[in-house]
Structure 1
Amino acid sequence: MDFSFNDDHLALREAVQRFCVGEYPAEQRGNAATPAQAQRRRAAMAELGLLGLPFSADVGGSEQGAVEVMLVSQELGNALGDGAFVASTVMAGQVLTRLGSVAQQKQWLPGLVSGHKQMAVAVYEAGARYDWQRTETRATPSGAGWVLHGHKTLVLQGDSADVLLVVARTAAGVADRAGLSVFAVDASTPGVTVQGFDTLDNRRAAHVTFKDVQLDADRLLGPQGQAAAAVEAALDAATAALCAEAVGAVDALLTHTAEHLRTRKQFGVPLAKFQVLQHRVADIAIGLEQLKSMACAAAMAMQADDLFQRSRLVSAAKVLASQKGREIGLAAIQLHGAMGMTDECRVGHYAKRLMVIGQSLGDAAWHLKRLRALHQV
């Protein structure tokens, strides 16, 4: 695989870096964003064209691919930046692009691209762990529309979403891949209850309950009962973006840790003079290069038509991001000593983000299980 970037890629990365320097001051990275900050940052990202990066020009997008999404995610990860990019632009955008009709895409995507609307995918359920196909939420026909009933958990950025893309069962059994459909539900619809909460990394997620929610027929995205492949592709796209975000976070940790060891003195000499600490930093640098390679491989696989290769490389990248992210985050805290445990020290915020990335959209154990299943087919 060719991992080199062209001039357009480099220009995109530099533009996102400038945005992050202005919107995410170093001393505030990892802090919870106020509503005003989140709105201002979203508007700035829309102006740069980042929110429309993967969408067609018909809805105001830039028609870019997974490699460009990877570059943006890396820089946002380096700055502990906007969590809604993966949840709304990447994951929800992929579901809508793959399943939505032309009319449905024109109804919702322009608002997503302009930053005036946010979307979230409600896919996981309590007790199912990461097995998103185990869905008890049901949609039943009612007159000319549908009635939606059920409960979704851990909806990333769910309490700030204007539209929820809900995976529900319209046929077959609870664990069957067939019979899954996706419905676009306004968060303000009667019967929808959203309970938001803070995550470990100062971001937001939500539990969402649907109680006899009445939906029009045009709220169904794609053919009835045939949404599984599109949802899986959207989850893979979001997982690849999270792996890229982990690269950016580890890169920042390496920079912070190396600087700390160069400036902090023990026995009259900088800590960087101690060989055992040099080895620890070298381990972080090696881990960073491994993560970069796997994030690139996952992004390039997303642009290919080979379903097996996409699933295999995305899961392999996520296993590495989950394992290495936690390991490197804890190592960086230890190398900073007691100050690494304080809230004022940024390394703790990066470590928390890496831990959340490791548990989001499937942990290492789940993706290893997926890899085994793929190779047994």
Structure 2
Amino acid sequence: MDFTLNEEQQMLQDTVARLARDSYGFDQREGFYRSEAGFSREFWQQLGELGICAVPLAEEHGGLGGGGVDTYLVMTELGRNLCLEPYLHSQVHGAGLLQQLGSDAQRAELLPRVAAGELQLAVALEESQSHYQLHDVQTRAEPCVGGWRLTGTKCVVVGGDSAGLVLVSARTSGAVLDESGISLFLVDPAASGVKRRSYPCIDGPRACELRLDGVVVSEDRLLGALGKALPALRYQQGRAIAAQCAEALGSMQESFRLTLDYLKTRKQFGAPIGKFQVLQHRMADMRGELEMAASMAILAACVADDPDSEERSRRLAAAKFIVTRAARFIAEQAIQLHGGIGMTWEYSLSHHAKRLVMLSHQLGDDDHHLRAYAELLRCA
């Protein structure tokens, strides 16, 4: 297969790489991390002005109509530079759900603003007991005069404290674990009854716990058919997984580069420690894991926008499993090869390591996706 980028894709990659390199030095990132928003609103505005926010969205909604490979290029560079902006959760996951389930009026109203970077979305699907199971929903939505009343709690809503709208899954019928009866709603975080407890994740981005205490949303805030949101939730999570694999790949590549540079410059017994054969073997192992992760991240990008099928799900589960294992291996090896300096807050490698560990637990860990892959094989 030919994996050579075309001219437009190369320009996209170069644009994101240059912007992130110029705007996201490590010291600058520390300032963004400690700010009230937890990321750079100026950088987010630049992403919107340059059309980067519009890449995953369809052209008819003000986007650029980019596919999985285009998103892969953006996310790799954002991961390489440890960018804190919730691009994956807003532009890929949230906007994807809005594109798939929204009515013509909802898409026309909201998606152009999302594509321009004016409106940030967040996705609230996880609950404390759900453990990656999208159909395990205890948040309830009951009909009321003029719309729906939502009650429940969502956890680890990445970007939820700064989002203008949050997409919330809630059960409108059925028992807790039924796959039918799950609906998706657009919730204004400023609405009465919404409470957000914000906190920084260990890897930098901010998340929140979202509590809904009788929050009333109008009828036109329901996305898609009543009680039939689960297939779209699973499909769009697949697209988010592909984007996350790309982000992890960028972080792994930078971790590998930092480690290689360190082995070339750190001297012991009068020679660079990179000349020690045992360390060369460990770097070779890291390189092997990195190449395998890169191949699977590319595979995930290539199938991300394919029609829903068991084969697509199998490939995405395999990609997430392999990338997760590689990310943890590379993070651990990079820290060990650096020694104590690799764990210091002032050095970017420690932040890459924490980011890679956190990414391995979002949207399903390696055990979850290994089980999913095995079940899909039995169904084949």
Q: TM-score, normalised by structure 2?
A: 0.96
Deviation readout 1:222-274 (Å, 9 max, x if unpaired): 11011111111111111111111111001101111111111110000011111
Matches within 5 A, 1:1-377: 1-29=1-29, 32=33, 34-35=35-36, 38-377=40-379
Identity of aligned residues (%): 39
Measured at CA, do residues 129 and 370 of structure 1 come closer, stay the same or move farther in structure 2, by a change above 3 Å? same
Following superposition, the deviation at residue 201 of structure 1 comes to 0.3
Task: Single out whichever of 292-301 and 279-288 deviates more from structure 2.
Answer: 279-288
Give the CA deviation at 1:107. Answer: 1.5
- In structure 2, the CA distance between the partners of 1:68 and 1:196, relative to structure 1 (3 Å rule), is same
> In 2, are the aligned partners of 1:30 and 1:349 still within 8 Å (CA)?
no
Structure 1 distance, partners of 2:288, 2:156, is 33
User: How many residues in Structure 1 have an aligned counterpart in Structure 2?
Assistant: 377
Q: Give the Cα–Cα distance (whole angstroms) in 2 for the partners of residues 280 and 83 of structure 1.
A: 33
Cα distance in structure 2, aligned partners of 1:251 and 1:150:
40
Contact kept in structure 2, 1:29 and 1:346, CA below 8 Å? no
Listed one character per residue, the Cα deviations across residues 317-347 of structure 1 (whole Å, up to 9, x for unaligned) are 1111221111110110111111112111211
**What whole-Å deviation, never above 9, does each CA across 1:7-60 have from its counterpart, x for those lacking one?**
221111111110111111144557715257621010010011111112122332
Asked if structure 1 preserves the Cα contact closer than 8 Å seen for 2:168 and 2:184, the reply is: yes
CA contact (8 A) 1:168 1:182 kept: yes
CA distance in 2, matches of 1:26, 1:344: 9
Local SS of the residue matching 2:360 = helix
Q: What is the distance in 2 between the residues matched to 1:376 and 1:185? A: 39
Deviation at 1:71, TM superposition (A): 0.7
Q: Secondary structure at the match of 1:141?
A: strand
Counterpart CA distance in 2 for 1:41 and 1:35 is 15
- Root mean square deviation of aligned Cα: 1.4
Tell me which amino acid in the other structure corresponds to 2:127. E
Separation of aligned partners in 2, 1:301 and 1:185: 31
Question: Is the 1:165–1:185 contact (alpha carbons within 8 Å) kept by the matching residues of 2?
Answer: yes
* CA-to-aligned-CA distance 1:196-245 (integer Å, 9 cap, x gap): 11111021111101111111100000110111111111111111111111
SS of aligned partner of 1:375: helix
Structure 2 residue runs without a partner (length 5+): none
Alpha-carbon distance between aligned partners in 1 of 2:353 and 2:338, rounded to the nearest angstrom: 12
2:374, 2:306 → 1: CA distance? 21
Letter in 1 for 2:169: V
In 2, the alpha carbon distance for the partners of 1:29 and 1:294 equals 29
Partners of 2:134 and 2:304 in 1: how far apart?
20
Question: What SS does the aligned partner of 2:351 have?
Answer: helix
Give the residue type in structure 2 aligned to 1:74.
T
Q: Give, as a single letter, the amino acid of the residue that structure 2 aligns with 1:34.
A: S
Contact in 2 for aligned 1:171/1:225 (Cα 8 Å) = yes
